[in-house]
Structure 1
Amino acid sequence: MSQSYDITLKIAYLYESPAAASRTLLRMLPRNLPEQQLLYGVVTTNPAPDYRLDDIDFFGNPTTEVSHERRLSEIEFLFRGRVLRHGDAGGLDLSCALDSLPRELAQIHSIGPASPHHFLGASPRLPAEPEIAAFARDCARPGMSALAAADALSLALHDAFDFDPEATEVTTTPIEAFRARRGVCQDISHVMITGLRALGIPAGYVSGFLRTIPPKGQERLAGADAMHAWVRAWCGGETGWVEFDPTNAIRAGTDHVTVAIGRDYSDVAPAKGSLRSEGSHDTTHQVDVVPV
């Protein structure tokens, strides 16, 4: 099964004092992957930049670097496009046993962007956390497969967490969210990645979009009005990467559109940069994902 979506993402900044100059790195363009294709789409800015460079980062994510060398009271970054998303055929659990994963990892000699070796140790925003590691170990039973262990941790975190957009900020650490048992998709995904790595399962962060309008008769998924986050886990050489949405206790599928993949949020932030200014600023994010 496949599904096309018309997608709009708008990120706007309003500055209390006009910014004298700014430089921003954007990751807003959806990826082309075996399970999805960008049919058409473009990232624009208002006002138009003085400098622009479209590129690809190490992990294969499309990037747009822009700079404005003038005073700005506000700026808007916009993506509009259409994406075709294919469903996962599913099938049997062919992943290796959890205790066999180190041996399977040792057989992977590549250090390319998709190599699981990049996703096993600590990353900029995800240090090792003994409390999260203990929670993850409690989810893994003896003899469990890597895929089953990842599923179990996803379901356990979904049950443990209350989805609360007011509880955390973008800078909240995983251990803070874990102790509060409250947060949004970024927090729950960061906690799951930390737990999977503690189990020896390579895990990465996926940012993207979630279907806004649910299929008839189904409940609306949490996190559908903003950019969404979920988790990818490497479950052995036979199975490879599998994606989990712990916020909604489901595997990622046709409702999910990938924009960027990285070790944690720092690798995939939709907009980050620097500017010369003073005072505060307001930020708004608007997402619209409409099935075609």
Structure 2
Amino acid sequence: MPFLNLSHVTTYTYRQPVSFGEHRIMVRPRESYDQHLLAATLHIDPEPVELRWLQDVFGNSVAIATFDRQATRLSFDSRIHLHHAPAEIEHVDIEDYARSYPFTYSSEDMPDLLRSIERQHLDPLRQIDGWARRFLQDGRTDTLALLTEMTTAIRREFTYVPRAEKGTQTPIETLSRRKGTCRDYAMLMIEAVRALGFAARFVSGYVYDPAGSGRSSGVVGGGNTHAWVRVYLPGSGWVEFDPTNGIIGSRGLIRVAIARDIYQAVPISGTWSGFPGSFIDMDVAVVVDTAPTQIDHAAPAGTMMEEPA
């Protein structure tokens, strides 16, 4: 199912009118060889006084919205039409020198990978290190098999528990509690592979079931934004690993933002000001459906339309 329609609606509600500060929106999928953005709209209500686009240090598309009016409701409605040709695990081709672990990244790659190898969380008792090393064999270990087993072990041994509250558990908390959300699992795996010397990055995007209607009913983490991991493997570059669903490769995964740390890839962030206790709720709804190859690019009234990509 290479053509998809994606709807992502986030709505904030308040008890009385509040003012809105600058908001940063990261909902536009990235262009790559396996996903091509064909059309995109972003409708914001109330309409911002200014909406500008930029690319951050990782090449993610970011919209910056500023407002000049108060309201009791703020909504972001993103509609995407894209072509998705996911990479399968059998297409992962690792250079000979890196097919077995341990290995060392080449001198050409290492300067650009160093910050993605650095640990982000303290591990004074080396708990993450010890857990990561359970996937090593005596002598040399097959690199892809190591990463695959770590991915599927999290899927198999941990309990997925949705959590609407902001924030992420530390990797040690996730390891000790044996439960968490997709973002918790992603951060645990990132720290674990970094403990072994791999370069890894956090990915925010969407998940769907390619074997079904296009909706995410057959996978865990659908109906909302999703998080997973990218690991750099010489010969194939950045390869996707989703420990929530045990997915290796980009099948069923639509990338939006890539970052070194989770806090650099928040889908929507911003501020508001008003009476204390004004905030009521935040609601997020994500739907991914199969689509025809041709769509009507006409935008409804009040929509900020982007040109087809």
TM-score bracket for this pair, using the shorter chain length: 0.7 to 0.9
Written as runs of structure 1 = structure 2, the 5 A alignment for 1:33-112 is: 33-88=32-87, 90-91=90-91, 93-95=93-95, 96=98, 97-101=100-104, 104-108=105-109, 111=112
Q: TM-score, normalised by structure 1?
A: 0.88
- Which residue matches 2:218? 220
Q: 1:239-291: CA deviations, max 9, x gaps?
A: 32111111111213331111111113211110112222332331110000001
Q: Tell me the TM-score normalized by structure 2.
A: 0.83
Question: CA-to-partner distance for each residue in 1:184-212, whole Å, 9 max, x for gaps?
Answer: 21111111001010010011111111115
The 8 Å contact of residues 183 and 228 in structure 2, kept in 1 or not, is answered as yes
Indicate if the aligned counterparts of 1:212 and 1:225 stay in contact, CA closer than 8 A.
no
Separation of aligned partners in 1, 2:169 and 2:14? 23
User: How far apart are residue 107 of structure 1 and its match?
Assistant: 3.0
Report sequence identity in percent: 26
Q: Which residue of 129, 135, 139 corresponds with 2:135?
A: 139
Greater alpha carbon shift after TM alignment, 164-173 vs 263-272: 164-173
Distance in 2, Cα, partners of 1:4 & 1:127: 42
Which of the residues 187, 190, 197 maps onto 1:190?
187
* 1:151 alignment partner in structure 2: 148
Task: Report how far residue 29 of structure 1 moved.
Answer: 0.7
Shift in Å, 1:105: 4.2
Q: Offset at 1:18? A: 2.7
Aligned length: 281
TM-align CA RMSD: 2.3
2:3 aligned with 1:4: yes
Give structure 1 stretches of 5+ with no counterpart. none
| Cα pair distance change 1:169/1:46, threshold 3 Å | closer
Structure 2 letter corresponding to 1:6: N
Deviation at 1:223, TM superposition (A): 1.0
Counterpart CA distance in 2 for 1:3 and 1:46 is 31
Structure 1 residues 144, 162: closer, same or farther in 2, change over 3 A? Answer: same
Residues 167 and 182 of structure 1 are in contact (CA less than 8 Å); yes or no, is this contact kept in structure 2? no
Q: Distance in 2 between matches of 1:175 and 1:151?
A: 21
1:263 to 257, 260, 276: 260
Q: State which structure, 1 or 2, has the greater radius of gyration over its C-alpha atoms.
A: 2
**Aligned partner letter, 1:75:** L
Contact 1:168/1:183, CA 8 A, preserved across alignment: no
Structure 1's 92 and 74: CA in aligned 2 closer, same or farther, altered over 3 A? closer
